[in-house]
Chain A
Amino acid sequence: MHKANVSIWFFNGVLLTTYGLMIGGYGVYELISGHTPPVVLAYLHAPLWWGGGMLALGLLYCFKFAPGKDNHATK
């Protein structure tokens, strides 16, 4: 019987990477197009660096806990 053995941290990595790409990608669009939303501190381009941070963290977790790297599901 196949046993689930993908680490929860890998799932976290996938989600953070996906969100990082989506939000960071929007941040890049915002920066290039100059189209900023009507929010306070919009000039800081929070989607860019917050999304970038999530992308970096997500990739780190995806790599470190990738299936097949002897990462038990509960670790």
Chain B
Amino acid sequence: MTVLPSPLMLSAVVALPPQHLAHLAPLDIAIIAVYFAMVIYIGFYLKQRNNTSEEFFLAGREMTAWIAGLSFISANMGSLELMGWAASAYQYGILAAHWFWIGAIPAMLFLGLVMMPFYYVSKTHSVPGYLKLRFGESSRLLAAVSFAIMTVLMSGINMYAMALVMKVVLGWNINFSIWVSSVTVALYVALGGLRSAIFNEVLQFVLIWAGALLIPILGLIETHGWVGMRARIQHNFPGQDFTHMWHGLGAFNHNPMGVHWTGIVFGLGFVIAFGYWTTDFLVVQRVLSAQNLRAAQMAPIIGAGFKMLVPIIVILPGLLGLAVLPHLLPESVAAHVPGANSYNEVLPLMLVRYCGPGLLGLGITALIAGFMSGMAGNVSAFSAVWTYDIYQAQINKRAADSHYVTIGRWSTILGVLVSIGAAYLVMQFASIMDYVQALFSFFIAPLFGTVILGMLWKQATAAGGFWGLLSGTVTSVSLYLWVHFNPAALAHVAFSVHAKTMAENLYRALWAWIVCVVVTVVVSMFTTPKTDAELNGLVYGATVLPKLEAVPIYKNHWFWAAIVITGFFIVNVVFW
């Protein structure tokens, strides 16, 4: 997921019609088998390097910036990301790229430049662990429990959606897909811990690009470049604008998403993106594995550079689909038309269009790799939070270090089993996905409010942090329920009667963040803050950050951040 796949996307994948789009040749099967053999081998190979909890949960904190950065971005590139956002690009055009650019790049740079020193210097093992150091046990417990539950549920949902895609595209049995992929992930993460997850994520990152990049290359050859593609889209869909990012955002009813630029900039670009990229332990854990502070600061910047390129393999295939496959239908319509295909099949259809034996297997392997990297990210983060922030904090505080490694291995397997259970639960009640997705989003925005105030404002108190986090979460849940039971309330939550679901998500996050910040500030003003000595290593202004050794400019993180942000502005202007 880029930030989070939308409920629309998840439910749409579930609703794919029962027909097979492709048949694998023996060569394709061999390519997939080689991939599985490699990831399992890496798990066994790295098992010997996980004797301490630091090694198991944080990969010994010895990853280079490149490995941590690629792993950081790969853990986020689940298969739903590839499938779902390609479908969104077919439906909404290049507007979907906002989730990769303004919805990611500034937040990732902020993590690297501003927040990472505090995460890293505090030597925390997790984001809830930072909340414990900064605000106390109650805030940690609230964040840890909500994160643990949501992580395994999301993992299960992704697992089910992926198995369903494999069934539709290849005719594979759902149970086979769920169990084979899950057991493989459980095996290599339980054996090799975070190090194994990270190694495989780097491998999966390369595979995803190798398998997916050919589609836009061949697509642009077929359409005679970007200009030719735009001309075909305009011919296929006269009067509709699919290739401008900001042009139609002046009013809710001037674009197919039903959003306004304020929602994109403040709701997505600020609250949701910063919430996800700076506080979701799934991604932050990868950066905490870096070998030193400079590597930890460089990793998100490297990740941001690659994130900016992901639309090439996700959004561009959706746009090319508009040019060469103009007859795809909305899911609700396609389900009732024999032989019709929906938006959600655009990526596999493009894959089948250009890729014969061998390349098709590589493309399918890329989808499987995307799923496995996302799932490994979820279960390794779950394992760390469960062991450090729930088991060690609440159940067994004084066990030997080796005991926590054992708990980590078993909680990895537990996480996978619960994920499988969640997958079967979703199979029975597909609508659960919408609610779980919403539930997950409830915690992101207020958690960002709590963490950012905790890092940048010395006066924030333990009571302020806890009540701010709780009230922000309650606000988000309340607004969701208000609109759910009274759709007319959307006009109040998102400021317009023309607002659509996407706009509701963005503005709900903004409201939750504002309430969290206001409550934190007000409660903090009436309670006693910690002393500067207690806040050393945790808060800006009370922390003496270690002086980084001088390096040539091409190794300086500020230099690369400047390049990435310049690229960010350029792509937004070019596709304005």
Contacts and interface: CB of A to CB of B under 8 A. Distances in A.
Given A19-B31, A26-B27, A74-B67, A39 B210 contact: no
A23 B362 contact: yes
Given A8-B199, A19-B31, A19-B34, A47 B358 contact: yes
Q: Is the interface of B mostly helix, strand, loop or mixed?
A: helix
A39 B353 contact: yes
Contact of B358 (A11, A18, A23, A73): A23
A6 to B, nearest CB: 7
B309 interface: no
A37 B357 CA distance: 8
Contact of A11 (B38, B210, B352, B359): B38
Interface secondary structure of A, over-half rule: helix
B206 A40 contact: no
Nearest to B63: A74
B49 interface: yes
B207 interface: yes
B221 A23 contact: no
Contact of A16 (B27, B210, B354): B210
Interface string A19-32: 10011001100100
Interface residues of A, number: 34
B356 A42 contact: yes
B137 interface: no
Contacts of B353: 39-40
A44 B221 contact: yes
Given A50-B214, A54-B210, A22 B203 contact: no
A8 B359 contact: no
A12 B42 CA distance: 11
A38 B354 CA distance: 9
Of B48, B207, B356, most A-chain CB atoms within 10 Å = B356
A4 B46 contact: yes
Given A8-B203, A15-B38, A26 B45 contact: no
A18 B34 contact: yes
B54 interface: no
Interface string B347-387: 00000111111110010000000000000000000000000
Contacts of A47: 356-359
B34 A41 contact: no
A22 B67 contact: no
By size class, the interface of chain B is 35 or more
Contacts of A15: 34-35, 38, 203, 206-207
B330 to A, nearest CB: 25
B218 interface: yes
B534 interface: no
Contacts of B358: 22-23, 26-27, 47, 51
Given A4-B48, A26-B27, A39 B206 contact: no
B291 interface: yes
B354 A41 contact: yes
Nearest to B359: A47
B64 interface: yes
A54 B362 CA distance: 11
Interface in B222-257: 222
A12 B203 contact: yes
Nearest to A40: B353
Contacts of B218: 40-41, 44, 46
Interface in B167-186: none
A69 interface: no
Given A4-B46, A15-B203, A44-B218, A39 B356 contact: yes
13 contacts: A1-B48, A2-B48, A4-B46, A14-B38, A15-B206, A23-B359, A23-B362, A26-B357, A30-B356, A40-B353, A44-B218, A44-B221, A74-B291
Top 3 A-B residue pairs of the complex, sorted by shortest distance between their CB atoms: A37-B356, A23-B358, A26-B358
Given A8-B202, A11-B42, A27-B358, 16 more contacts: A3-B48, A3-B49, A11-B199, A15-B206, A15-B207, A16-B206, A30-B356, A39-B352, A39-B354, A39-B356, A40-B218, A40-B354, A44-B218, A46-B354, A74-B59, A75-B64
